[in-house]
Structure 1
Amino acid sequence: MDNKNNIDYKNINRWRLILGSFAEDNIELDNEYYEIDTALDFLYDREYSKESGYADFDSENEYRGGKEKSSLTVPIWVSKIKKLFPKKTVEIMQAQALEKYNLTEMLTDENILKEMEPNMELLKNILTFKDMMSGNVKKLAYDIVRKVVDDIKKKMESDIKKVFYGKKLPNSYTQNKIFKNLDIKKTIRNNLKNYNIEDKTIFVDKLYFNQNIKKYNPWHIIILIDESGSMLNSVIYSSIMASIFSNLPYLSIKLVIFDTSIVDLSHSVKDPIDVLFKVQLGGGTDIVMALEYAKKITTAPDKTIVLLISDLMDSNDYRYMYKSAMDIIESRSKLFVLPALDYNANESYDKKAAKQFAKIGAKVAAITPDELSKWI
C-alpha cells in the first residue's frame, strides 16, 4: 500500500461510515463524506446514549459515543437525509427513527412531517401515533395517508378487477362479438367440416362467442377485522379491499372492526382512510363476539361470505370461538379465516387454532389480496 494510487479511498471511507465515531481517531474521513457521517451519527449514535437504554462502556467503564459533534435538529436531519441518501434508504432511516429510537417528534411537528417520504411504513407509524397529533398536523397526516392508500388501492384495484371482470359463461351465446368473448373451442369444433387436408387449415365461416358472466351476482361479504397491534398490515389492506369490493355492483359489503368491542363501519366502507383513522390498535381480542355479530347481521346465509381477519389469539375459551364458527358454516355461509392479508402474506398467528378452523370446515390461509379475490 506504499503506492498512494493503490489505496481504495472510497472503500476506506465506507468502512469509516460503518464503524462510526469509534473509528474517527484512526481513519480520516474525506470532506465529501462528512455530511453523511453527521446524518448517520445523529440517528445511530443514540444506540449508545444513556437516554436510549443502550449504554455501552469500555474497559475503564467510561461512557462511549455521544460526543455532541452534531448540531442537527430533527427537522434539519429529515430534510438532509432526503438529499444525501436514496429514497429506499430514507424510508428505512425514517422508520428506525420512529420505531427504534422513538423520535415521535417527526409525526407531531408539522414542518417535519411535510419533509417525510410518504410510504407504507410512514402510514403505519401515523396510524400508531395518530392520537398524539392535533390540528394542522392531523390534517397533514390525513393527506399523507390518503396519498399512500390511493397508491396501494390502484395496484389492488387492478389485480382485483382482473379477477372479477372478463369471466365467460360457458354454453351461452351473445351478440357482443368482441375478442375476449370468443369461444375458440366451439368455433373450431363447428367449423371442422371446412378443414382442408392439403393445406391443413380450417376455413372459418362462423365465429361463436360466449356471453359475459351475468353482471349482478348478489353475494354478501361480512369482513371482521381484528385491530390488535400485530394485525396492522392486514387492517390496512383489508380496509382498502373492502372499499374496492363495495364498488362492485354484485357484492354487498359489511365492514366490522373489533377488539373487546364491536365497531360497525359499514357506512364508511367506501372510504378506507376514514376507516383507518377510526382503528384503535392494541387491546384485547374477542373473536367470539365478532363471529356472533356476523351471525346477527347475516340475512341470506347461503349467499354470505364471512371473512375473519385475525391472528386467532382470542381472550376467551377457544371452544366458544369454534362453536360460533361452526354455527356460521352449518348455516351454509362460507367462512374464510385470514391470519394475514398483505402482498407479503406475512403471518404471525395461533397455528393450532388455524388448524382447528380448517378442520371444522373454514377455509384458512395467509394470502395476498389478489389471491383472496380469486378465492371469492
Structure 2
Amino acid sequence: MTDPILERWRLLLGEPGGACLGGGPLGPQAAARDAAMEWLYGRDEDLRRRGVRRGGTGGSVPTTVDWLDDITRLFPKETVERLQRDAIERYEIHDVVTDPAVLEHIEPNQALLRAVLRTKHLMSPHVLRLARRIVETVVRQLMDRLATEVRTAFSGAKARRPGRLRQARNFDVTRTLRANLGRYRPETGKVVIETPYFFTRTRRHLEQWQVILLVDQSGSMADSVIHSAVTAACLWGLPGVRTHLVAFDTEVVDLTSDVDDPVELLMKVQLGGGTDIARAAAYGAGLIDRPRRAIVALISDFYEGGDPHRLVRVVRGLVEQGTKVLGLAALDERAEPAYDREVGQRLADAGAFVGAMTPGELASFVAEHVGR
C-alpha cells in the first residue's frame, strides 16, 4: 500500500518526484489528481526551471470545464478553492469566469467573485448575467455571516451597572479585577476570581451618526471593496446610523443610492486604474452634516497618485473638527494590511487611526460610538 505522505510529495513535485514512490506508478485516483495539477501548474515556467513540475502521468484535460469537474470530484473543497484561485489570479485563466459553460457548472466562492469584478468588462451581456449568479451567491453568504455580527454589536450599549445575564461578551474585566485583587496569588502570578462582574446592555435613544466609507477600488483592494459593500448594506437602515459608500480611483463615484443592494453596487465597481485619495477624502468631508457625529473610514492601500500633502491636510481638518477618522489598509476577513507605511504614518500623526479591521470590528467600532 502506498504511503499517503509520500504520495502527496509525489503530487506536489510532479514527475520529477517519482523517487518518492521508488519509481512505482501512481494509483488511478492519484494519477487523475496529478493530471489535474499538471494542467494548471505545468504551465509555470519557474517551476519547470526548478525541476518541480515537468509533465504528469495522467491523461490530458482538454477544457477548463473538464478540469473544473475533475478537481471538484478529486479534491476537498478547500483545495478546489485554492486551485481555482491560482488558475484565476496566478495564471490568469479568464475563461474560468468568462466561459458560459464554466459559469453554469462552477461553485461560487470569493476568489471567483474577485475574478468577476476584475474581468466583467470583458464579458458579453449573456455571460455577465451568468456571472451575476456568483456575485449574488457570495454576497448572500457574506451578508448572512456579517449581519449576525452587526446585530450583536448593535444589540445595546454597555451600561456601567451589574448585569444578571452572564455572557462572555458582557464580561466587565476592569471591575472584576479591581474587586478580586485581594485574592492575588504571588506564587502563580494569578488572581483567583470569586465574584465576576458583567455589564448590562440597554437600548438608548440614539442620535443620528453618519458613517462614510471611502473605498479605494484599485486592483489590490478587491477584498476590501467586497466587504465594504456588504458592511454598508448591513449598516444601512440601522437606528442611529446614516451610511454613505463612495468608491474612488482618480474619479469619485458616490454609490450610496445602491447601498441597500450590494450585488448591484458591486456590479458597478470598476477595479483598477489610478488613485487620488485626497480627492476622495475631500469629497467625504463635504458630505458631513455634524462633524462630531461622523465617522469617516478611508479604506485604501495609501499609495497616493494624487497629492499626499492635500490628503494629510484634509484628514487633519476632519480630526480637528471632531470627526472620527479611520485609515483602514484592509477591511476583510483576514485584516492583513499591505500599504504605504510612510503615508499611513503621516495620517496617524494627523490624528487618524491607521490599521486594519474585519467588518465585524468596524461594526463594533461604529456601535460603540453611536451608543454613547
Same fold (TM over 0.5): yes
TM-score category (smaller protein):
0.7 to 0.9
Do residues 342 (structure 1) and 332 (structure 2) align?
Answer: yes
- 8 Å contact from structure 1 (residues 223, 254) kept in 2: yes
Contiguous gaps of at least 5 residues in structure 1: 1-6, 59-63, 172-177, 186-208
TM-score norm. by structure 2 comes to 0.80
Matched residue, 2:360: 370
Look up the SS of the partner of 1:216 in the other structure: coil
Q: In the alignment, what sits opposite 1:31? A: 28
Whether 2:210 is the aligned partner of 1:213: answer no
RMSD: 3.2
1:66 Cα deviation after fit: 8.2
Is 1:302 aligned to residue 302 of structure 2? no
1:285 aligns with 2:275: yes
- Residue 14 of structure 2 aligns to a residue in which SS? helix
Q: Residues 56-67 of structure 1 correspond to what in structure 2 (within 5 A)? A: 56=49, 65=55
Once the two structures are superposed, the pairs formed by residues 1-376 of structure 1 within 5 Å of their partners are: 8=2, 10=4, 13-22=7-16, 26-48=23-45, 56=49, 65=55, 69-167=59-157, 212-376=202-366
Distance in 2 (alpha carbons) for counterparts of 1:142 and 1:336: 31
Code of the residue aligned with 2:239 in structure 1: it is P
Q: Which has the higher contact order (CA 8 A, sep 6+)?
A: 2
SS of 2:239's equivalent in the other structure is coil
One-letter code aligned to 1:19: L
Aligned residue pair count: 333
Comparing 290-299 and 22-31, the one that deviates more: 22-31
Write the letter of the residue equivalent to 1:262: V
Contact 2:157 2:201 in 1 (8 A): no
CA-to-aligned-CA distance 1:269-289 (integer Å, 9 cap, x gap) = 111111211111111111111
User: Residue 46 of structure 1 aligns to a residue in which SS?
Assistant: coil
Say whether the 8 Å CA contact 1:340–1:366 is kept in structure 2. yes
- Once residues 364 and 57 of structure 1 are traced to their aligned partners in structure 2, the CA distance between those partners, rounded to angstroms, is 41
Residue 118 (structure 1) shift: 1.4
Deviation, structure 1 residue 23? 5.6
Asked if the contact 1:344–1:368 (Cα under 8 Å) also holds between the matched residues in 2, the reply is yes
Larger radius of gyration between Structure 1 and Structure 2: 1
Aligned residue in 1 for 2:369: none
Q: Which digits, 9 at most, give the CA deviation of each residue in 1:92-127, with x for residues without a partner? A: 111111122221111111111222221111111111
Q: 1:22 to 1:218 in 2, by over 3 A?
A: same
Q: Quick one: percent identity of the two aligned structures?
A: 36
Partner of 1:193: none
- The answer to whether the Cα contact below 8 Å between 1:13 and 1:30 also exists between their aligned partners in 2 is no
What is the CA-CA distance between 1:331 and the residue it aligns to? 2.3
Secondary structure of 2:210's counterpart equals strand
User: Normalising to structure 1: TM-score of the pair?
Assistant: 0.79
Mapped to 2, the partners of 1:36 and 1:66 lie a distance apart of 10
Q: Which digits, 9 at most, give the CA deviation of each residue in 1:115-163, with x for residues without a partner?
A: 2221111111111111111233211211211111111111111112111
